[in-house]
Amino acid sequence: MLHLKNCVTKVRFISTMTIQQAKTVWKKADAVCFDVDSTVIMDEGIDELAAFCGKGKEVSQWTVRAMGGGILFRTALRERLKIIDVSNDQLESFIEQNPLRLTSGIRELVKTLHDRGTAVYLVSGGFKRIIQRAAKELDICNENIFANTLLFDNEGRFAGFDENEPTSDSGGKTRVVELLKARYGYKNLVMIGDGATDLETYPTADMFIGFGGNVVREKVRMQAPWFVTDFKELLQELQPSHAVNGTEVHMNGLNGRERLLNGLNESEVPISSVNGTETHINGTRY
């Protein structure tokens, strides 16, 4: 009986939404939450910070352990920050000396969403002070950033992180999505990200788009209702399409029949669950 119950719970989290249904939700999105590391920006903030502080190898070893499972997100965050032991001054230098690498197309996408009145949020397990640079570039206000806060003592020494931030714990991004939906009543909230913690926000989020423009995580690619490797794909869907002789013409140049001939009959794409390897596009290991 217990076994059956577990099976039912698991099935609930495997999407049965077709890509076409996902696109319909995307077109009427009233809020979009972007993950930051390897989504809005090309890098992983904590790895970059660790390398800057000369602790890159030790931290990446911990990251590999954490990804093996069985370790709480907060524990992994605490242990890695203990190794990095960044001071306030070091953090300032890191921010000054490491130019931001925004992912191609994100600027245009966020501007288009803002112009059409869609609320845009950054939801990250990374650090607010690092993320604020990206937010500024994208004209996203501080109130729309949900991320972790590093703490320092009076001498500027590392003193932990704010454990009250929902993003500092396992399932934190899902809690942020719940909070936003409860606070603002969003009906079509879309989460976009590259990682497993982004995927798990769905189905609390009304739709999830997997992003593989910087790194492809196989589980996300297979389980996301819609998976893209270029923000242009999302931008195109927001452009008006028009009908010619009864045939819908899409901005990407493929109509329904052409998609069928190309094996892209979206409504029939099966969504299944597999565990697999990750493909790293920019050559960085995560």
Give the residues lining the site for Mg ion (CB under 5 A): 35, 37-38, 194-195
Rounded least distance, CB 274 to Mg ion, Å: 20
The minimum distance between CB 278 and Mg ion, in angstroms, equals: 12
With respect to Mg ion, which residue has the nearer C-beta, 48 or 194?
Answer: 194
List of residues 6+ apart from 280 with CB closer than 8 A: 215, 216, 286
Q: Identify any residues that bridge with 279 across adjacent strands, giving them in sequence order.
A: 216
Nearer to Mg ion, 198 or 237 (CB): 198
State the nearest-atom distance from the C-beta of 74 to Mg ion, in Å: 17
Cα 133 to the center of its chain, rounded Å: 17
Q: Indicate the burial class of 28 (C-beta count within 10 angstroms; 0-12, 13-18, 19 or more).
A: exposed
Alpha helices in the chain (DSSP H): 2-12, 19-27, 45-52, 56-67, 73-84, 88-97, 106-115, 128-137, 172-184, 196-199, 218-223, 231-238, 256-261
Closest CA to 212 of 117, 199, 204, 153: 199
Nearer to Mg ion, 18 or 140 (CB): 140
Active site residues: 35, 37
Q: How far is the CB of 3 from Mg ion (least distance, A)?
A: 33
Which one, 213 or 225, has the nearer CB to Mg ion?
A: 213
